[in-house]
Amino acid sequence: MFGPLILAAARSPRMRGLVTGVPLTRGVVDRFIAGEGLDDVLGAVRELTDAGLSVTLDHLGEDTVEAGQAAAARDAYLALFELLGSAGLAAGGDASLKLSALGQALDAGLALGHAQDICAAASEAGMTVTLDMEDHTTVDSTLETLGKLRGDFPWVGVAVQSMLRRTAGDLRDLAHEGSRVRLVKGAYAEPASVAYQDRASIDRAYVRDLRLLMEGDGHPMIGSHDPRIIEIALALASVTERPADTYEFQMLYGIRADEQRRLADAGQRMRVYVPYGADWYGYFMRRLAERPANLAFFLRSFVSR
Ligand SMILES: Cc1cc2nc3c(=O)[nH]c(=O)nc-3n(C[C@H](O)[C@H](O)[C@H](O)COP(=O)(O)OP(=O)(O)OC[C@H]3O[C@@H](n4cnc5c(N)ncnc54)[C@H](O)[C@@H]3O)c2cc1C
C-alpha cells in the first residue's frame, strides 16, 4: 500500500532534503549501502570475496542534469577500478552503471562516451560492466546504448524488468550466446499501460522470462531474493543441464546475506550488488518501497530516539 507513495517520494527533492537531512537516517541506510567512500567499498568487497562471493559495484547516482556531474560519475568508476586493481580485487568483478548518472537524459551520445570510457577501463582491470535498467521511458535508449557498447565490449550486460510487458519481446533479442542478462522484477512505479501491477502477475512474468533465459544461449543473471524464484531457477538449471558457471544468482548488499552465502557454499555462483557513495537517496527509497518492514524499521528509528 505504501510502495507507490514511497516511490513517488523517491523522486521528490523536498522529501530528499527531509530524509537525508536527518543524521539518524544513516543507521538505517548503512544496512543497504556499503559506505560513502572508496575505503568503505574496498572493505565490503574484501569481506564478500573472502566469503566466496563475487561483486558488482554501483557508484550511487542517477538523474544527472549537468554535464560536469556526468563526467564526475565516469571518473568515480575509473578511480574505483584503479583502486580495486592495486588492491588485487578487480579480477572477476563487475560494475553496475545507471546511464542516467552518465547524462543519458541530457544527451545519449554523452552517456555513451562515458560508458565507453568505463568499459575500456573495466576491460583493462579484468572486470565487466552491466547496465542497470531504470524507468520504462529509458528502456529503448538503454538497449540502443547496449548494442553500441557491445560492438567493442561484447561482455557488457544489461538488466531487464519482468514487470514490463515488453520484456519477453526484448529477451528474444537478448538471449543469444555470450549475452549477459540480469533479470529483475523491477523497482520503479510504472503505469498499467506498460507494466503488470500486482505481485502475482509480476512473479508469473518473471518465471516466463527466466525460462526464456535459461533455455537460451546467453548468461542469465538471476537478480532476486525471492525463495520461490531461486528454487525455480535451480530446477530450470537442472532440467536444461546448465553447468553452474553458465549462469549466476545476484542479490543486493544487506538483503538475505545468509542466503547469499548458503547458495555460494552450495556451489552456485552468487554476485552481490554493492552500492556505495554519497548519493544514496533514490536507491534507499526503492529498498524501503519493496518491503513494508523496512519502512517500519526506518520510522521506528525516529520514534525510539
Ligand atoms: C542484483 C540486483 C540488481 C538489481 N537491478 C535492478 C535494476 O537494474 N533495475 C530495477 O528496476 N531493479 C533492480 N533490482 C531490484 C529488483 O527489481 C527488485 O525490486 C528487488 O530485487 C526485489 O524483488 P525480489 O525479486 O527480491 O522479490 P520480492 O518479492 O520483492 O522479495 C522477495 C523476498 O526478498 C526479500 N526482500 C526483497 N526486497 C527486500 C528489501 N528491500 N529489503 C529486505 N528484504 C527484501 C524479502 O525476504 C522478500 O520477501 C535489482 C535487484 C537485484 C537483486
Nearest-CA residue for ligand 1 atom 34 is 225
What is the structure's pLDDT at 7? 85
What is the structure's pLDDT at 304? 54
Q: What backbone torsions phi and psi does residue 51 show, to the nearest 5 degrees?
A: -90, 5
Give the active site residues. 132, 182
What's the total number of domains in the chain?
1
Cα 68 to middle of ligand 1, angstroms: 31
All residues at 6 or more sequence positions from 195 whose CB lies less than 8 Å from its CB, including other chains:
136, 161, 163, 164, 165, 186
Cα 286 to middle of ligand 1, angstroms: 9
Average pLDDT over residues 69-76: 97
- Residues 10-27 pLDDT 10s: 888 877 877 777 765 667
pLDDT at residue 116 tops 70 = yes
- Residues 195-216 pLDDT 10s: 999 999 999 999 999 999 999 9
Residue identified by cell 537516517 is 25
pLDDT-based confidence at 305, cuts 50/70/90? very low
Average pLDDT over residues 244-252: 97
Q: Decide: 252 in ligand 1 pocket, CB within 6 A.
A: yes
Q: Decide: 187 in ligand 1 pocket, CB within 6 A.
A: yes
Confirm whether 8 is domain-assigned.
no
pLDDT-based confidence at 231, cuts 50/70/90? very high
What is the structure's pLDDT at 120? 98
pLDDT at residue 287 tops 70 = yes
Ligand 1: which atom is nearest the Cα of residue 203? 29
- Residues 28-38 pLDDT 10s: 788 899 999 99
Q: Among candidates 27, 58, 13, which has minimal Cα distance to 294? A: 27
Cα 185 to middle of ligand 1, angstroms: 7
Confirm whether 21 is domain-assigned.
no
Q: What is the DSSP letter of 219?
A: E
Q: What is the DSSP string of 60-89?
A: ------SHHHHHHHHHHHHHHHHHHHHTT-
Average pLDDT over residues 221-244: 97
pTM above 0.85, yes or no: yes
Confirm whether 20 is domain-assigned.
no
Q: How far apart are CA 294 and CA 147, in angstroms?
A: 37
Q: Could you tell me if 33 and 58 are in contact, meaning their C-beta atoms sit under 8 angstroms apart?
A: no
Q: What backbone torsions phi and psi does residue 221 show, to the nearest 5 degrees?
A: -120, 110
The CATH number given to whatever domain includes residue 61 is: 3.20.20.220
Minimum mean pLDDT range among 26-35, 37-46, 280-289: 26-35
Give the range of the structural domain holding residue 101, as residue numbers without chain letter: 33-279
Residue identified by cell 578487480 is 90
Confirm whether 100 is domain-assigned.
yes
Q: How far apart are CA 298 and CA 278, in angstroms?
A: 19
Q: Could you tell me if 210 and 236 are in contact, meaning their C-beta atoms sit under 8 angstroms apart?
A: yes
Confirm whether 302 is domain-assigned.
no
Confirm whether 301 is domain-assigned.
no
